[in-house]
Amino acid sequence: MIEIETAVVDVVTGVAWSSWFRAAFLVVLGGFLAVLSSRGITRFMQSRTSLHHTVMVRRLVFYVVLAVFIVAAMREAGFAPDVLLGAAGILTVAIGFASQTSASNMISGLFLLVERPFEIGNVIEVEGTIGEVIGIDMLSVKLRTPDNLYVRIPNETLIKARVINRSRFPIRRLDLKVGIAYREDIERVEALLLALAEQNPACLEEPKPFVLVTDFGPSSVDLQFSFWVPSDRILEGRSEMMIGIKTLLDNEGIEIPFPHTSVYAGSRSEPFRVELLTPAQKAEEEDTHAK
């Protein structure tokens, strides 16, 4: 027992506690200065560059400052620099083999940083997923969907997939399909639609709206009604215009045809009996049923 206590005392007294305290102080100081440096670079770059670049540079400055102080703390604790570099090299190779996907995502993140296909706050579409960009990291991009879901997409997927930036430009064109009966005057309908676009506050005067005849459908003449709206008013612009079109065509007596469905119950069922009656025959039929 005495030998164990003696060994413990030798170990405790043999530790250079002052060096370890200095090392811990350097780590704490490094974290504090890293936070201050990242905040300072954020204030400096906010009005000079995009939010995307500001976030990336802020994180880079934070980790670089923190890494410098950690290395200094380890040297203060008695670790030789060449040993640290050798261990770091071996660790880097091991991590590289073990996490090839992460390395690919990091390289893809650098390409995204240089190319800048989108920024924080933009609305993008990736493989059918639509959402607002709320975070851009070295490994992935974070989205918030319209129904308030959190979606993480790896950077490698963004490099390989087709990415649509829905808010890159300040205005967007909306194309609505309008079907009218064959007996209707196409030029009159076109004039009514263009007048409706002029009255709608969400529609832009330039570029001008237009109407195209796109197809002679089975039951209607199909028109394409196109107009431009600000990017932040797409949903309400589309909804308001569709309501306006329906109200306008109803008020003007313009028919909007729709397909009709026939019910067939099999080869043994008799066809439905259809007969057109004149007013006199209809009155006679009603009298017969009344008796």
Q: Is residue 204 part of a domain?
A: yes
Domain boundary among the residues 165, 195, 221 is at: 165
Q: What is the pLDDT of residue 210?
A: 93
70 with 144, same domain? no
Q: Tell me if the bond preceding 117 is cis, omega within 30° of 0.
A: no
My answer on whether 183 and 218 are in the same domain is yes
The answer to whether residues 232 and 246 belong to one domain is yes
| Residues 243 and 175 occupy one common structural domain | yes
Has residue 112 been placed in a domain?
no
Residue 278 counted as domain residue: no
Q: Are residues 20 and 94 part of one domain? A: yes
Of the listed ranges 2-11, 170-179, 245-254, 270-279, the least confidently predicted one is 2-11
Asked if residue 119 lies in contact with residue 133, where contact means CB atoms within 8 angstroms, the answer is yes
Cα 106 to chain centroid distance, Å, stands at 20
For residue 190, tell me if it sits in a domain.
Answer: yes
CATH of the domain at 134: 2.30.30.60
Residue 173 is predicted with a pLDDT of 92
In angstroms, the CA 61 to CA 187 distance is: 63
CB atoms within 10 A of CB 136: 23
Q: Is residue 76, in this structure, part of any structural domain at all? A: yes
| 5 domain-assigned | no
Residue closest to 112 by CA, chosen among 96, 120, 130: 120
In a domain, 68, yes or no: yes
Instruction: Tell me, yes or no, whether 181 and 195 share the same domain.
Output: yes
Q: What is the pLDDT of residues 32-90, one digit of tens each?
A: 777 887 777 777 776 666 666 676 677 777 777 777 777 777 777 666 656 556 656 66
The three-state DSSP-derived secondary structure of the chain is CHHHHHHHHHHHHHCCHHHHHHHHHHHHHHHHHHHHHHHHHHHHHCCCCCHHHHHHHHHHHHHHHHHHHHHHHHHHCCCCHHHHHHHHHHHHHHHHHHCHHHHHHHHHHHHHHHHCCCCCCCEEEECCEEEEEEEECCCEEEEECCCCCEEEEEHHHHHHCCEEECCCCCEEEEEEEEEECCCCCHHHHHHHHHHHHHHCCCCCCCCCCEEEEEEECCCCEEEEEEEEEEHHHHHHHHHHHHHHHHHHHHHCCCCCCCCCCCCCCCCCCCCCCCCCCCHHHHHHHHHHHHC
Q: Is the domain of 128 the same as that of 161?
A: yes
Q: How confident is the model at residue 8 (pLDDT cuts 50, 70, 90)?
A: very low
Residue 290 lies in a domain: no
pTM: 0.57
Total count of domains within the chain: 3
In terms of residue numbers, what domain contains 93?
16-98
In angstroms, the CA 124 to CA 146 distance is 11
* 152/206 same-domain check: no
At residue 224, the pLDDT reads 94
CATH of the domain at 234: 3.30.70.100
Helix axes 81-98, 100-115, angle to 10 degrees: 90
pLDDT class of 9 with cuts at 50, 70, 90? very low
Shared domain for 129 and 195, answered yes or no, is no
Strand 221-230 versus strand 171-180 pairing type: antiparallel
Q: Are 124 and 139 in the same domain?
A: yes
Domain shared by 200 and 247, yes or no: yes
